[in-house]
Structure 1
Amino acid sequence: MGLIQRIAEEAGIPTISMGNMADRMERIKPPRALLVKFPRGSMMGEPGNVERQRRIILDALNALKTMKTPGAIQELPYAWKR
């Protein structure tokens, strides 16, 4: 994913990646990344939790504007509830 993101960024298309494994994100070094404390396959949160999913999407869109350091990883403040 990081390689595809870098190519898109070179073309002027901002990207952001989401993941739950900080060590892998640090190795891959995507242009911008959000770290979530959720199980694999559930990067947007618990099924049916529409309000939290909406907040996570808005956080990701906001991070596209605010994260300026290449390779930055920002941890989102949400925790898995189930």
Structure 2
Amino acid sequence: MSITHFPDLTELVHAPRAFSIKFPLGRTFGQPGRSDLQENIVRDMLDGLSTLSLEEVRKLPYRWKRD
């Protein structure tokens, strides 16, 4: 299970299971202090262990909000 900023590349290398997220590099789990968002992302990943098929890359619904 992985999380990626580059879903096209992740599909090319045939990662076993992955989530893609549209956040800036280095901020994969969201803004500092946003523990609610960070927990949701981790929960989605844990749920994905049983719901994603092999070599599936699923987009997470979260979007980065500018300050």
Is the TM-score greater than 0.5?
yes
Please show how residues 37-48 of structure 1 align to structure 2 within 5 Å: 37-48=22-33
Residues matched between the structures, number: 66
Distance 2:13 2:30 in 1: 23
CA deviations 1:18-53 (Å, max 9, x no partner) are 011112111121110000010111111111111000
| Contact in 2 for aligned 1:46/1:81 (Cα 8 Å) | no
Runs of 4+ in 1 over 6 A off after TM superposition: none
Cα distance in 2 between the residues matched to 1:53 and 1:42: 10
Aligned equivalent of 1:66, options 51, 54, 58:
51
Normalised to the residue count of structure 1, the TM-score between the two structures is 0.76
CA RMSD of aligned residues (A): 0.9
Structure 2: stretches of 5+ with no match in the other structure: none
Match status 1:77 vs 2:61? yes
The unaligned stretches of length 5 or more in structure 1 are: 1-15
Aligned 8 A contact 1:32 1:70 in 2: yes
Equivalence for 1:17: 2
Does the 8 Å contact 1:32/1:71 carry over to 2? yes
- Identify, as 1 or 2, the structure richer in helix: 1
Q: Which has the higher strand share?
A: 2
Tell me the distance in 2 between the aligned counterparts of 1:24 and 1:48.
Answer: 30
